[in-house]
Homo-oligomer: A and B are copies of this chain.
Amino acid sequence: MSGLAFFAGTHVMAQDVDKLTEGAVAETYEGFMATPAADFFTISNLWILIAAGLVFIMHLGFSTVETGLTQSKNTVNILFKNVFIVCMGVLVYALWGFNAMYPGDFNGFFAAGSPIANAFADADVFANMTSEYADYTYWADFIFQAMFAATAATIVSGAVAERVKLSSFMIYATILVCFIYPITGSWEWGGGWLNNFGGGEKEFIDFAGSSLVHAFGGYAALAAVLLLGARKGKYVGGKIKPILGHSMPLATIGVFMLFFGWFGFNGGSVLSADPQAVSLVFVTTTLAGCAGGLGGMFTSWALLKKPDLSMGLNGILAGLVGITAGADTIAPWSAVLVGLIAGIIVVFSVLFFDKLKIDDPVGAISVHGICGNFGTIAVGIWGGGFFLSQLIGTVAVSAFAFICSFIIFGIVKAIMGVRVSEEEEFGGLDVGEHGQEAYPDFAGATKG
């Protein structure tokens, strides 16, 4: 068929240069819109935009999960960080990241960024649309990717919660999102070395970002936590003293919102409205998330003798992270298996990091880092990918995220410190950093 491609095949690689088309038959936007290809283009473009909106609402999910699982005295601080991250993330992605991540021809390892175009006349958009993009406009592409960009920093935010210095974190997060996230992104989705692994024959596969987004965030978080240290009172006299969160309804709202947003995260990564591909992705994503929830619930029930809600919630997220790399290529019942395993892994992983005295208040390293690794490798087992390519890819992305995070956070630490004073930590970051409480007038508080 002439013009834009109608159907992208079953092995659609998300956000992948492989499926870019060569150009359209029409000479102008209006001309193109009069061709029969315009309808599929319009549907697909609309879906990418709706998916971008769904990924946006995941930031509400992250905010409430992190808030719910931490103490109420640090609530304003966590909310502020998350709101900042979204705002900053989108803007630096526009300023530098998008063009650094999708540079066109490049050396495969690193490309310089630049601001997105400001012109939006028909010809400009059309030129971009038809020569380099498949089933959606330049702007839809940008906004969908921009919503992803801030996620990495948000993952770190949860892990360093309740003791990180606000200004230090803001600087660190800005550098991470602006300069580092697009590099590993370009390796795969920008057509870099991982995308061309083994001459393209044994390419690395990461559909919607088990590695590029989640493991990236998880390992960046691990480095930051190692430099930051545990919260005071968490590990005392060789014992683990749980520091409980303050609102399980907030945490649950957050997980439901993340699940809801994941339909856009994975579903939009098909990069078209192709009925078969998007439908399958919805099914595998849902099945894996649900199986992960049951995995987390029953594993924690068996281990801890009580059915633990937060482990159920983390299990859902683990299942979703786990299926993200292969949501388009893993069959439904295999997706159940992937989700279930991820839901089991996350419980053991949370307990394991706690044993190592690596203090991660919300379990971000386990959910996103470890299950991101697992999900990527799962494509090499159940999703038709090459096992070794998957392993190398996820290790490369994780290691690069860890090292860069360690260096940046280390430099920030050396220059301005990364941790609040013990006094502020005890009194809460809300008052210490913001002079503002989360629940200043909560009359319900006077009742029993």
Contact = CB atoms under 8 A, between A and B. Distances in A.
Interface stretch (A16-24, A284-292, A395-403): A284-292
Nearest to A39: B39
Contacts of A38: 6, 40
A75 B252 CA distance: 11
Interface in A38-67: 38-43, 45-47, 49-50, 52-54, 56-57, 59-60, 63-64, 67
A33 interface: yes
Nearest to A150: B290
B447 A448 contact: no
Contact of A120 (B6, B34, B139, B332): B332
Nearest to A440: B244
A398 to B, nearest CB: 28
Nearest to A50: B50
A307 interface: yes
Contact of A83 (B120, B312, B439): B312
A447 B444 contact: no
Contacts of A280: 120, 125, 139
A256 B261 CA distance: 13
A333 B439 contact: no
A165 to B, nearest CB: 12
A72 B336 CA distance: 34
Given A52-B282, A259-B56, A434-B306, A136 B275 contact: yes
Nearest to A255: B83
A123 B257 CA distance: 35
Given A120-B331, A275-B137, A447-B440, A312 B80 contact: yes
Contact of A294 (B87, B119, B308): B87
A433 B47 CA distance: 43
A276 B79 contact: no
B443 A71 contact: yes
A245 B441 contact: yes
A47 B333 CA distance: 24
Nearest to A444: B439
Interface stretch (A88-96, A214-222, A230-238): A88-96
Nearest to A343: B87
A414 interface: no
Given A331-B118, A332-B116, A29 B286 contact: no
A121 B257 CA distance: 31
A275 B447 contact: no
A441 B136 contact: no
B246 A439 contact: yes
B76 A121 contact: no
A316 interface: yes
A380 interface: no
Interface stretch (A140-148, A178-186, A349-357, A415-423): A140-148
A94 B334 CA distance: 13
A283 interface: yes
B94 A287 contact: yes
A204 B115 CA distance: 32
A49 B51 CA distance: 12
A80 B439 contact: no
A246 B72 CA distance: 12
A434 B121 CA distance: 55
A424 interface: no
Contacts of A132: none
29 contacts: A7-B29, A7-B30, A39-B40, A45-B278, A46-B275, A52-B282, A53-B54, A60-B257, A60-B260, A72-B441, A72-B442, A79-B249, A80-B307, A83-B255, A87-B297, A91-B287, A138-B279, A166-B307, A243-B441, A244-B440, A248-B437, A249-B250, A249-B438, A253-B253, A439-B442, A439-B447, A442-B445, A443-B448, A445-B445
